[in-house]
Structure 1
Amino acid sequence: MNTNRQQNLAKSVKRYRIIAWIAVLICLLIIGKVVYVGTLKREYWMKVAEQKKVKEKPEPAERGNILSCDGRLLSGTLPEYDLIIDFSVCQEWRDSMWRADFPKICAGLHRIFPDKSEEYFRDRLQEGYDKKNKSWRIIKRKATFEEMTEVKRLPVFREPRLRGGFHEVEHTTRKKPFGSLASRTIGDLIWNGQPKCGLEQSFNKYLSGTPGKKRIRKVFDKTIPEIIVPPVAGCDIITTIDVGMQDLCERALLEKLKEINGNVGVAIVMEVSTGDIKAMVNMSKLASGDYAEIKNNAVSDLLEPGSVFKTASIMVALDDGVVDTTYMVDTGGGVWDMYGAKMRDHNWSSGGYQTISLPRTLEVSSNIGVSRIIDRYYGKNPEKFVEGLRRIGMGAPLNLPFKGAGKAQIRMPKKNKRGQYTNWYGTTLPWMSIGYETQVPPIYTLTFYNAIANNGKMVAPRFVKSVVKDGQVVKDFPTVVVKEKICKEKTLKEMQTILYHVVSQGLGKAAGSESFKVAGKTGTAQISKGRSGYKSGPMNYLVSFAGYFPADAPRYSCIVCIQKPGLPASGGRQSGAVFHKISEGIMAQSLKLLASDARTPDALLTPEVKNGNMLAADYVLAHLGVKTNEGWNGSYANGNPIWGKAESNNRMVTLTKGKAYAKNLMPDVIGMGARDAVYITETRGLKVTIYGRGKVYEQSIAAGSKIRKGQRCVIKLRN
């Protein structure tokens, strides 16, 4: 029995040894495999891991919109589309459809994209069809929402994706529906979506929103996105900009710049009571001779303001009580010696103004008169004059919401230990009093004049009213009062009267209007060339006009500044003329009459509407209560403007979208008003000459003709 037990034990040990050796062998194989994978096959398995790894990436938030004061889109994130067709699906069905509808498809695509011919689409589609490509782009550029909608109405493309193969891929892009209008004020984004300038930059924290987070799971050649944290869209900002006023200011300023060969032009319109900036134009001449907004000159230009500064000088003297409006000053023959330097009036060659009253010194903008008054009463104590300027708010900090905005530079006299002035000379005060020896951005000067119009209350310029999200106000930006009262009530009334007389009986007559009262001050200054002074090379001038209207019940203040080479240079005749067009245009736009007041029992209630911007026509007709046709497909999502034709009949107006012309083709402007006709042609780079009034009945370049930038087009109108 013991023998059997020993035999069984020997057999068991033998089996366990076999199992142990097998286990050892398996371990050695595993270790060998690990070494093999970790060395010889390491590169292969790292690639496999790369194909299957999971990444986390930020999911960008939709950027908020920038809107005008009445809610119109100034800058927004709008959709664009890649138009894709998959030629690999449903081939048998599509072969028959393709043969039958191919000509219609090509013709339809040419109608939607007129810059591409039918032959282009025939070759383009046939190439994709022959390759049986799964993601063939119908056109290489991105399409608008309107274009994409039109394409989806064509044969084959209107079929479901799994049947016809057509689908679109949406992208978002930043667009300015009004083109270059207020471009520098609104601002831009650079290539990576970061703000570059303007309100886009200043209010980026509200516009940008909060990025989300997504997980990208990569499995071989496919990526599977998964949103972990959804992004929060940015807020919209409601600006103070009025599109109509902005357009009016831009046109008036550009017309004068071209007429006098100006280098830089600025025009700003501010609402008196609120400080709202309704329009701000910054135009610079390019090497090509065209004009564009490339710098925010209105807030950044540090130039000597010239004679528009004289108003502040006289206000200080009146408010200090050293003079009154009956004060008389001798200006001689138009040339006066000021501490060894010659001070001249603009009419010095004809004998000057002789002895004139204090108000008259501003009416005729007498350099000698103003400088002699200030030098007489402040020459021995210039600190008191500069303190007076600060007291009336000239150069007060405005905290403008723009990167690079300038600040008024008004020098304060300084003395050394021996009581000698270190930054002040005999000529400093006389020349400072007439707008030299200081540097004031145009918007600071306008804020001062706006305070005079606002009965002495100085308010800061406001560019944004509020931040909104989903129709709810997130943050308000109320009007900021810089100074409750810039001067005594008596001083204010005297200055208001003098500024009105500058326009009604002085050098500012060109800025006036027969329909309402205007008050303001002209300005003409030589532009210093830095260390080279004023007399090296050709002379450049800054001509300005700053004022407000209507003078008896001020609603808006405005400043126009133009930098130009050579003579003639006149703030009244040149900048004042631009002010005149702006003020009259704004007052005409703001004239509100009820349509019902003009109706009689037998009156025709349907107005005649010109061809042109149908979106604008639809907006006006809706507010007049005039019915328009439904479904004409006019909306801001489709772009603005939308060009077309209008026809009045049976107490309604039918609006029809017109033919779209490529940028290198002359559009059809027959039947349009002057404003729309000039806009649509000038945006294509044409130089327009216009004759008559009413509707366009003749254009010198036929519709559909190829055009080149700078080409002259003559447009004739008649009623």
Structure 2
Amino acid sequence: MNIKRSILLRVRIAFLVAVVFVLAVVYKLVEVQMIEGDHWRSLAEQSSLDYKTIKATRGNIYADGDDLLATSLPFYQLAFDPSLVSDEIFTSKIDSLSTLLSKFFRDHSSEYYKKKISEARQMKSRYLVLNRELVNYRQRQEMQQWPIFRRGQMRGGVIFEKEDRRYKPFKGLAQRTIGSLDSEDEGLAGIEASFNDYLNGQDGEGLYQRVAGGNWKPVNASTDVRPIDGYDIHTTIDINLQDVAQDALLRAVSTYNAEYGVVVLMEVKTGEIKAISNLERTKSGGYAELYNHAVGTNNDPGSTFKLASMLALLEAGKVDLTDSVDTGDGTIEFFDGKLKLVDERKGGYGKITVQEVFEKSSNVGVSKLVTENFGDNPQEYIDIIKSTGYGKPLGFQLMGEGEPYIKEPGDDSWSGSTLPWMSVGYETSLTPLQTLAFYNAIANDGKMIQPILIKSINRANQPVETFEAKVLNKKIASDETLEKLRLMLEGVVERGTAKNIKNDYYKIAGKTGTAQRLVNGRYYSQQFYASFAGYFPAEDPMYSCIVVIDYPKGWNRFGGDVSAPVFKEIADMIYAQNLQIHDSFTPEYTAASNGTFPVIRAGRLEELNELCNELGIS
């Protein structure tokens, strides 16, 4: 009986112990979930780990000669893990560190920083942003020598979180051509967009720990995948010539209160673009690079297209330069009077030669020649022009090239007025760069080449891909035709509509262009698109150039008055700085050899004086 009672007692005791244990477990669960839940959830969040993207550093964009056009500069946010610092170091150095922080950021007192850091240490915080203001690389190096920080991240707790920012050392120079980035550091326009995949590089991945406040702290784990930085892009831009071109263009668009202006300067033999500027009027009334009109904006080229008309006439054997053309009183009607073309000179030019028709830019003369010789077969005229490559896409290296358009007789919009209208540069749609490529071909012995802006893609200063101008047409016309075209282009400057830019030291060849602006399908007779396209020196061409001024205001609104002087200003500066050009001139166009320099008509005085001193002339 005693044995039975003893067993029952033991069972009851075991049961009570089990009940108490279960109740204790339940109580602890309730306590953890309900009473201490927030605390433990916070600790769980603080200790969570995750892999985050480590952004690759975007590649640089260089000018010819390795001047930086765009680069990514490292900036850093300063953070601190006070738990990693020993008591001895913290106590002895916190005052001096707080003083340095206060002096550097100049936003709070040293007492503020000391209190902020000390409170974070007491709360065992492992991540404290000391200031939201970013510091640059030099400042980071300076901070790494400060008290506590000099012990590094593992013993000093200092954390520098890198953030790249795109920087353009030359500010607005070629800004639109270089391009821009969006908020995600992806290319929006220009080189930045067209070569985005190369510049971007390959992002890495790193292990991060989430700490108090929802911030993420890098763990610097061995499993981190390092990012691969982007490729560097080397361009053809000459930063000095870019500066000259942009300055000259800015003066012109400002003087004439134009809507926008374009300059493209290209090496004749290589097709390398040495300067490209697009200045557009802003809402505030100033000018800035907002859009690449040189590449993307189509317009009726106006009288610069007369060079193509003359090429067709000469290549087909329809005319010679000495043939005479009766331009009458300077007016002519086509299509039953629905189209009336007039010459700029009131009363007309009367009977003049074909060469004079071009030099004087006679609308009557050119349209009369083209309609009389191609009126029965306008397709022949179109075919000759298009066979040169003019009117076809260039396949330019930047995205956004405007689609060229030269009408065909089979088009729905072709009418009885199209041929004469087209012969003087209307009812066509071409970009400044496409017109420049055509003029460059005349200067380049008939070889049409693709303008290029990018020379190479590099990794660690070594090219991984290089580019040269593609030949678009080996010979756009016969040597005889080319010689006559060059003679007429020189005559425009010697005697014609651009004689205001003639000079005694080197020859310019080119053609003025003035077209009525087409706005919403309607031509405006008092709004003009003024241009000048050509090359220099005419005897041995080194550079071709086009200048466009859209909607100049005032009395002088024509290509010869507005755009040609910009061309000359650029050419003058190159002439003054480039001794190689001087070697190509005939004695008539060479400086005197008696130790004196001819009168300099344009250019920057300081640079010209320095050049003269180097040459030992006065």
Give the shorter-chain TM-score range.
0.7 to 0.9
Question: In the alignment, which residue of structure 2 is the partner of 1:498?
Answer: 488
Task: Give the Cα–Cα distance (whole angstroms) in 2 for the partners of residues 512 and 168 of structure 1.
Answer: 65
1:525 aligns with 2:515: yes
Task: Give the Cα–Cα distance (whole angstroms) in 2 for the partners of residues 93 and 146 of structure 1.
Answer: 23
Shift of 1:92: 5.2
Out of 269, 277, 284, the position equivalent to 2:280 is 284
Shift of 1:565: 3.3
Question: In the alignment, which residue of structure 2 is the partner of 1:552?
Answer: 539
Question: In the alignment, which residue of structure 1 is the partner of 2:74?
Answer: 79
Shift of 1:322: 1.8
Task: Give the Cα–Cα distance (whole angstroms) in 2 for the partners of residues 342 and 22 of structure 1.
Answer: 115
Task: Compute the TM-score of the two structures, normalised by the length of structure 1.
Answer: 0.70
Shift of 1:550: 1.2
The answer to whether the 8 Å contact 2:387/2:476 transfers is yes
The structure showing larger relative contact order (alpha-carbon pairs under 8 Å, at least 6 residues apart) is 2
* Change in 2 beyond 3 A, CA 1:58/1:43: same
**Residue-by-residue CA offset, 1:471-511 (whole Å, 9 max, x unaligned):** 22111122211111111221111111211111122212233
| SS of equivalent to 1:388 | helix
Task: Give the Cα–Cα distance (whole angstroms) in 2 for the partners of residues 85 and 34 of structure 1.
Answer: 36
The answer to whether the 8 Å contact 1:392/1:486 transfers is yes
The answer to whether the 8 Å contact 1:511/1:578 transfers is no
Cα RMSD for the two superposed structures: 3.9
Q: What runs of 5+ residues in structure 1 fail to find an aligned partner?
A: 1-6, 110-119, 416-421, 594-672, 677-691, 695-718
Task: Give the Cα–Cα distance (whole angstroms) in 2 for the partners of residues 167 and 225 of structure 1.
Answer: 13
| SS of equivalent to 2:563 | helix
The answer to whether the 8 Å contact 2:281/2:287 transfers is yes
* Change in 2 beyond 3 A, CA 1:96/1:315: closer
Instruction: Please give the residue correspondences for 1:156-195 in structure 2 after superposition, counting only pairs within 5 Å.
Output: 161=149, 169=160, 170-195=162-187
The answer to whether the 8 Å contact 2:97/2:147 transfers is no
The more displaced of 457-466 and 402-411 is: 402-411
Out of 70, 78, 83, the position equivalent to 2:65 is 70
The more displaced of 354-363 and 28-37 is: 28-37
Question: In the alignment, which residue of structure 1 is the partner of 2:219?
Answer: 225
**Residue-by-residue CA offset, 1:684-717 (whole Å, 9 max, x unaligned):** xxxxxxxx999xxxxxxxxxxxxxxxxxxxxxxx
| SS of equivalent to 1:496 | helix
Q: Which amino acid aligns with 1:223?
A: K
Instruction: Please give the residue correspondences for 1:3-42 in structure 2 after superposition, counting only pairs within 5 Å.
Output: none
Task: Give the Cα–Cα distance (whole angstroms) in 2 for the partners of residues 584 and 507 of structure 1.
Answer: 19
Task: Give the Cα–Cα distance (whole angstroms) in 2 for the partners of residues 84 and 40 of structure 1.
Answer: 33
| SS of equivalent to 2:59 | coil
1:394 aligns with 2:381: no
Shift of 1:142: 3.9
| SS of equivalent to 2:188 | coil
Task: Give the Cα–Cα distance (whole angstroms) in 2 for the partners of residues 372 and 584 of structure 1.
Answer: 37
Task: Give the Cα–Cα distance (whole angstroms) in 1 for the partners of residues 266 and 320 of structure 2.
Answer: 30
Shift of 1:460: 0.9
Out of 486, 489, 495, the position equivalent to 2:476 is 486
Task: Give the Cα–Cα distance (whole angstroms) in 2 for the partners of residues 504 and 128 of structure 1.
Answer: 76
Shift of 1:547: 0.4
Instruction: Please give the residue correspondences for 1:378-457 in structure 2 after superposition, counting only pairs within 5 Å.
Output: 378-414=374-410, 422-457=412-447
Shift of 1:52: 2.8
Shift of 1:394: 1.0
Shift of 1:287: 2.7
Out of 334, 341, 344, the position equivalent to 1:343 is 341
* Change in 2 beyond 3 A, CA 1:251/1:94: same
**Residue-by-residue CA offset, 1:342-375 (whole Å, 9 max, x unaligned):** 210110x2x2111111111111111111111111
Question: In the alignment, which residue of structure 1 is the partner of 2:561?
Answer: 573
Task: Give the Cα–Cα distance (whole angstroms) in 2 for the partners of residues 362 and 283 of structure 1.
Answer: 30
Shift of 1:38: 8.3
Shift of 1:281: 0.3
| SS of equivalent to 1:431 | helix
* Change in 2 beyond 3 A, CA 1:163/1:193: closer
Q: Which amino acid aligns with 2:568?
A: H
* Change in 2 beyond 3 A, CA 1:565/1:127: farther
| SS of equivalent to 1:308 | helix
Question: In the alignment, which residue of structure 1 is the partner of 2:577?
Answer: 589
Shift of 1:214: 1.3
Task: Give the Cα–Cα distance (whole angstroms) in 2 for the partners of residues 385 and 223 of structure 1.
Answer: 71
The more displaced of 565-574 and 67-76 is: 565-574
Out of 450, 463, 479, the position equivalent to 1:460 is 450
Task: Compute the TM-score of the two structures, normalised by the length of structure 2.
Answer: 0.81
Q: Which amino acid aligns with 1:70?
A: G
Shift of 1:582: 0.6
Task: Give the Cα–Cα distance (whole angstroms) in 2 for the partners of residues 462 and 133 of structure 1.
Answer: 56
* Change in 2 beyond 3 A, CA 1:11/1:90: closer
Identity over the aligned pairs, expressed in percent? Answer: 37
Q: Which amino acid aligns with 2:532?
A: F
Question: In the alignment, which residue of structure 1 is the partner of 2:262?
Answer: 266
Instruction: Please give the residue correspondences for 1:531-546 in structure 2 after superposition, counting only pairs within 5 Å.
Output: 531-535=521-525, 539-546=526-533
Shift of 1:256: 1.5
Q: Which amino acid aligns with 1:483?
A: N
Shift of 1:234: 0.5
Task: Give the Cα–Cα distance (whole angstroms) in 1 for the partners of residues 108 and 40 of structure 2.
Answer: 42
The more displaced of 77-86 and 187-196 is: 77-86
